[in-house]
Amino acid sequence: MNLLDDLMDNQLRGLLAEGWAKEIRYLSALLGQAGLSGLGDPDRGARLLFDALNGAMLRHATESAAPSPAQTLDDLMEAWT
């Protein structure tokens, strides 16, 4: 199977969305406790962080010179402090 096949299946798509929502809630809780002065809304920051890290993983997998997910995380944390 591949991701595109999984996304066409309603049950699998629902499970994926549920898992992602859990990850975003967890990130939001962590960010809320981190005391980052430039963060603003932890929920919004969690969604941004989740999307940025997933995008960085995909990009880094196809382009080795691209910034790693760890670098993306460092860049966001630096911007929020």
In tens, the pLDDT along 28-78 reads: 999 999 988 889 899 999 999 999 999 999 999 999 899 999 999 899 889
d(CA 49, CA 20): 12
Please tell me the total count of domains within the chain.
1
Q: Which domain holds residue 16?
A: 3-80
What pLDDT does residue 29 have? 96
pTM attached to this predicted model: 0.81
Query: What does the pLDDT average to over 7-17?
Result: 90
Q: Average pLDDT of 5-27?
A: 92
The Cβ of residue 46 has, within 10 Å, a number of other Cβ atoms equal to 21
Confidence at residue 1, expressed as pLDDT on a 0 to 100 scale: 61
The reported pLDDT for the residue numbered 6 is 80
Gap between the Cα atoms of 55 and 57, Å rounded:
5
How is residue 49 annotated by DSSP?
A: H
Can you tell me the distance from the alpha carbon of 45 to that of 71, in angstroms, rounded to the nearest whole number?
Answer: 17
